[in-house]
């Protein structure tokens, strides 16, 4: 328990892993959960989680976080393309411009999705260069060469 991994002794570890290792070392010395939390400026749940991860998987489980799974995208590639096309088209009659809330309603009406949040549409459009009022397409323009 007293052996600190090589990367920690050479300051190659991040602060979170150093704190976790210190929690384990002081736990072995008999420090209470409250004392550890106060000493390392973490909450008691963090101390409990570090101890639990160590009990289940050893030092490697404490120092190496699990890779987080990617969430499935709400829209398929085709649905995304259709939504961007709707966003770049003129606003519907009776509207000066197309809001994300209106785009969400249109996506449901056209049957792209059963339901969708305006925030999801906002995030999707933010990732693309789909500003219908802009002349910039998002690619570098070629410089005119003078002959």
Specify the length of the chain in residues.
147
Pair 107, 116: CB distance under 8 Å: yes
Q: Tell me the C-alpha distance between 82 and 88, whole Å.
A: 10
Q: Tell me the C-alpha distance between 123 and 80, whole Å.
A: 12
Q: Tell me the C-alpha distance between 120 and 126, whole Å.
A: 10
pTM for the whole thing? 0.45
| Of residues 67, 66, 59, the one with CA closest to residue 22 | 59
pLDDT per residue as tens digits for the range 27-82: 999 999 999 999 999 999 999 999 999 999 898 888 888 777 777 777 788 888 88
pLDDT per residue as tens digits for the range 70-111: 777 777 888 888 888 888 888 888 888 888 899 889 888 988
DSSP state of 115: -
DSSP state of 41: T
| Of residues 91, 98, 140, the one with CA closest to residue 118 | 98
Q: Could you identify the residue written with the tokens 């489980």? A: 61
């Amino acid at each position: 328990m007293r052996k600190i991994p090589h990367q920690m002794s050479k300051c190659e570890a991040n602060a979170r892993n150093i704190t976790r290792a210190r929690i384990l070392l002081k736990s072995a010395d008999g420090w209470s959960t409250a004392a550890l939390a106060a000493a390392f400026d973490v909450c008691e749940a963090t101390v409990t989680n570090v101890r639990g991860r160590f009990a289940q998987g050893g030092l490697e489980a404490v120092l190496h976080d699990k890779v987080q799974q990617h969430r499935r995208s709400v829209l398929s590639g085709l649905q995304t393309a259709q939504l961007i096309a709707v966003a770049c088209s003129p606003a519907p009659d009776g509207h000066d411009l197309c809001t994300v809330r209106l785009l969400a309603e249109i996506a449901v009406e056209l049957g792209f999705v059963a339901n969708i949040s305006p925030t999801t549409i906002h995030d999707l459009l933010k990732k693309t260069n789909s500003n219908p009022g802009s002349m910039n397409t998002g690619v570098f323009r070629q410089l005119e060469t003078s002959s």
